[in-house]
């Protein structure tokens, strides 16, 4: 989050800090929980590799979905940014 403020990205300048902190905090908590759940389900290294690659692919696709779209603008920006 600090790098967003340092480099002056628009999303960081025009969005309330409370919203950004909440989103990133709960994303981190969900990631840790998912790691605990998957570590109890997955038994072999091959399965772990397949799951890791599918998670990375899913993250790339989600990033492409939210990249430069009106949905992202609507979800995260305030009226000051318009």
What is the per-residue pLDDT across 9-48, written as a single tens digit (0 to 9) for each?
777 777 788 888 898 899 999 989 988 998 899 999 999 9
The CA distance from 67 to 61, in Å, is: 10
Residue with more model confidence, 70 or 49: 49
Say whether pLDDT at 82 is over 70: no
Say whether pLDDT at 80 is over 90: no
Predicted confidence at residue 6, as pLDDT, reads: 76
Does pTM surpass 0.85?
no
Query: What pLDDT band is residue 76 in, cutting at 50, 70 and 90?
Result: confident
11 contacts 77 by C-beta, under 8 angstroms: yes
The CA distance from 12 to 56, in Å, is: 25
């Amino acid at each position: 989050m600090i790098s967003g403020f340092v480099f002056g990205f628009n999303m960081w300048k025009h969005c309330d800090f409370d919203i950004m902190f909440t989103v990133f905090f709960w994303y981190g908590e969900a990631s840790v929980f998912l790691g605990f759940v998957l570590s109890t389900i997955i038994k072999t290294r091959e399965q772990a590799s397949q799951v890791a690659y599918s998670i990375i692919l899913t993250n790339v696709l989600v990033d492409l979905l939210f990249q430069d779209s009106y949905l992202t603008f609507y979800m995260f920006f305030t009226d000051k940014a318009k």
